[in-house]
Amino acid sequence: MSLEKIIKLKNTLLFRLTVLYAGIFTLSSVLIFFAIYFKIHSVAIKDMDEEFLDEISQYSENMSRGGLEVIVTKIEEMAELEDPNEEFYRIITFEGEVLFSTNMSEWGSPDFYDIPEAIRQGETHHVFNTLKIQGRDHKARLVSAVIGPGTVLQIGEALEETEEYLDIFLSWFLILIIIVMVFSAFLGWFMARRALQDMEEVTKTATEISNGAYDKRVHLRDQYEEIQRLGGTFNIMLDRIQNLLQSMREVNDNIAHDLRSPLARIRGIAEINLMNRKTIDDYKNMAASIVEECDSLIDIINTMMDITEIESGINKPELEEIDITRLIHDAVEIFKPLADEKRLRLNVHMEDKLIFYGDRKKLQRMVSNLLDNAIKYTPEGGSVSVTALTENAMLRIVFEDTGIGISDTDIPRIFERFYRCDKSRSQGGIGLGLSLAKAFAEAMHGTIRVKSILNRGSAFTVSFPEHQSPGTVS
């Protein structure tokens, strides 16, 4: 493996998690080992000390009953059975006179085993020590205890057996720790790999998308919730991006097809005026026509932007409490002169007060567009009506007219951008009103449905769930 690869591996989450697992396992094992090690050691020493105390109490008793000779005999009898390497006994006075001693040739200088100061001072009856003996590999445990006036018995016992036992324990542990390290590293690698597999799936999908496969989605398996959430959010984000791209593509197509004709008209006006000699009034008319065409172009661009922004979620509806009855009345007031001009009956059927949480401006534009269409596509003498009511927890606003109607073949297409039915081409319009109304309605969780009979009339019904929470629609 090259150095570069090793450096890269070092920075991966997989490597770090593996090391972390192995580290935690090893550290815990070492801690457990030391806890056990010291416990065994201290239990062994405690047992030894208890045995010492038992012995000492027996010797003290013998001393008080039969004097020094009795103890010496007993110790000698016992010392014969013991290895002098393993144990020694010594009886010594406070002045340092050795009254009795077993063979101490293997125990270094006898001066080394002086009577502890605490005993001399009479502060305690016995003292335990663990000592390192010169020339020997293992330590020894020593007890010095008063067994008679001014007389101290010292018993020394090698800790060889205990230490050897602990050495075996240590070497077993070292073997065990290597196994634990390898096992925990493997386990860590396995667990981290499992956890990261789904993350890799997200990365793989992201890579595919960056190469242009926008329809790819993260395959969500039934595994860790966090990863599932990440994948789910990622997929939602991708849906949004795809919608955005789709809308942008549509906007591009629309610009190509539908902005071309107004631009061609502007160019035509200018060209005609350039070709012939014209009066100043002709130029003024030309300028007025160009301003009109430009206004219509700006209107088209703005409306397209509004639709794209609302559909892609960039522009979110801002909800507030709205009296729908009032909002519709205001719109009807504005359109009344237009209806009067065409001698249309304009009827309104509404409850006194209809409260709804919605985006005021968007609702106003939606109502205006639908009302405008109803009036525009209804021939003189006809009638237009607006009904608003609540029904099954839904707010419904119905725009009905007795107009030219829409054919069954056109109905599925009228909400497309720039789509205009042939029959209506004589009327002014750009074919964006219904697309905008639909985008606004859907942004507020609403729908628009249409029923129409050719030459009889149409009914557009906008429905919203009545209870929207105040605030911004997510």
Q: Beta partners for 22? A: none
Q: Tell which one of 433, 444, 462, 463 touches ligand ADP (CB under 6 A).
A: 433
Element (H, E) at 390: strand 383-391
Which residue lies nearer to ligand ADP by CB, 80 or 422?
Answer: 422
CB of 326 to ligand ADP, least distance (A): 24
Which residue lies nearer to ligand ADP by CB, 33 or 418?
Answer: 418
Alpha-carbon distances, residue 263 vs 250, 267, 278, 353, 417 (angstroms): 19, 6, 22, 46, 18
Alpha-carbon distances, residue 147 vs 79, 103, 110, 155 (angstroms): 19, 21, 19, 12
Which residue lies nearer to ligand ADP by CB, 129 or 461?
Answer: 461
Element (H, E) at 99: strand 98-101
Pairing of strands 345-350, 151-158: unpaired
Burial of 337 (0-12, 13-18, 19+ CB in 10 A): exposed
Of the candidates 194, 201, 432, 469, the one whose C-alpha atom is nearest the C-alpha of residue 302 is: 432
Which residue lies nearer to ligand ADP by CB, 16 or 420?
Answer: 420
Which residue lies nearer to ligand ADP by CB, 198 or 401?
Answer: 401
Annotate 340-364 with b (16+ C-beta within 10 A) or e (fewer): eeeebebeeebeeebebbbbeebbb
Radius of gyration of the chain (CA): 50
Which residue lies nearer to ligand ADP by CB, 395 or 421?
Answer: 421
CB of 296 to ligand ADP, least distance (A): 11
Instruction: Give the range of 70-78, 329-337, 398-406, 465-473 binding ligand ADP by CB under 6 A.
Output: 398-406
Residue showing tokens 């300028």: 287
Which residue lies nearer to ligand ADP by CB, 378 or 463?
Answer: 378
Alpha helices in 211-350 (DSSP H): 225-258, 260-275, 280-312, 324-341
Q: Tell which one of 131, 430, 454, 473 touches ligand ADP (CB under 6 A).
A: 430
Which residue lies nearer to ligand ADP by CB, 63 or 406?
Answer: 406
CB of 394 to ligand ADP, least distance (A): 22
Which residue lies nearer to ligand ADP by CB, 136 or 420?
Answer: 420
Chain positions 400 to 429 lying near ligand ADP, rule: CB under 6 A, are 401, 403-406, 414, 419-421, 424, 429
Q: Side chain identity at 138, as an amino acid letter?
A: H
Q: Tell which one of 431, 439, 443, 464 touches ligand ADP (CB under 6 A).
A: 431
Length of the chain: 474
CB of 209 to ligand ADP, least distance (A): 34
Q: Tell which one of 127, 354, 434, 443 touches ligand ADP (CB under 6 A).
A: 434
d(C-alpha 92, C-alpha 183), whole Å:
58
CB of 252 to ligand ADP, least distance (A): 19
CB of 450 to ligand ADP, least distance (A): 8
Residues touching ligand ADP: how many (CB under 6 A)? Answer: 22
Q: Are 391 and 445 in contact (CB under 8 A)?
A: no
Binding mask 150-189 vs ligand ADP (x if CB under 6 A, - otherwise)? ----------------------------------------
Chain positions 450 to 469 lying near ligand ADP, rule: CB under 6 A, are 458
Which residue lies nearer to ligand ADP by CB, 102 or 424?
Answer: 424
List of residues 6+ apart from 107 with CB closer than 8 A = 88, 113, 133, 140, 156
d(C-alpha 227, C-alpha 237), whole Å:
15
Binding mask 334-373 vs ligand ADP (x if CB under 6 A, - otherwise)? -----------------------------------x---x
CB of 315 to ligand ADP, least distance (A): 19
Which residue lies nearer to ligand ADP by CB, 258 or 318?
Answer: 258
Q: Are 138 and 160 in contact (CB under 8 A)?
A: yes
d(C-alpha 54, C-alpha 43), whole Å:
17
CB of 444 to ligand ADP, least distance (A): 19
CB of 455 to ligand ADP, least distance (A): 10
Q: Which two tokens stand for residue 140?
A: 């020894």
Interface positions with ligand ADP (CB under 6 A): 369, 373-374, 377, 401, 403-406, 414, 419-421, 424, 429-435, 458
